[in-house]
A = this chain, B = another copy of it.
Amino acid sequence: MSKTSRLALIERLVRENVIGSQEDLLRMVEDTGMKCTQATLSRDLRQLGISRGFDGSGGYRYLLPGGREGEAEALPGSATAAITGMTWARGLLLISTPPGFASAVAIRIDRAGRYEIAGTVAGDDTILLIPRDNISNEAIEECLKTIFKSDIK
């Protein structure tokens, strides 16, 4: 249970999850069996250059250095990594991706041909997903999980 492996774990957790506080991160770390305190995480985060920013939905999120979220992660293969955020607004789902990745991800969604999804519009780094009438947000999110489940490895 070395410091090094803890740092690696933290980096991965932060990259792959929306983590809003060190307490949350602590819980996730403990879930893997490792043990430490929030104070240690504070020091680790500084060492890793991971800082707290905004998640785009009014909440907070720890972000890897070098700015842009999952940008470092390539799309080829895992489209999930190319989805950097999702926000519901006005009954529509906005999906964020690194610049240039939106249409690639949108194509994946369209190809799935799900009834619940009326259609999508892709910009450069944002996809607007229009749910069919009377379909719940939850149903759409389930859809997406299903669609991208395949490449979670």
Contact = CB atoms under 8 A, between A and B. Distances in A.
A133 to B, nearest CB: 6
Contact of A126 (B58, B68, B121, B125): B121
A49 interface: yes
A51 interface: yes
A128 interface: yes
B87 A119 contact: yes
Interface residues on A, range: 35 or more
A103 to B, nearest CB: 5
B118 A87 contact: yes
B124 A90 contact: no
A98 interface: no
Contacts of A115: 54, 58
Interface string A108-139: 00100101001111111111101111000000
Contacts of A132: 87, 89
Contacts of A125: 110
A53 interface: yes
A125 B119 CA distance: 10
Nearest to A53: B51
Contacts of A122: 121, 123-124
B103 A123 contact: yes
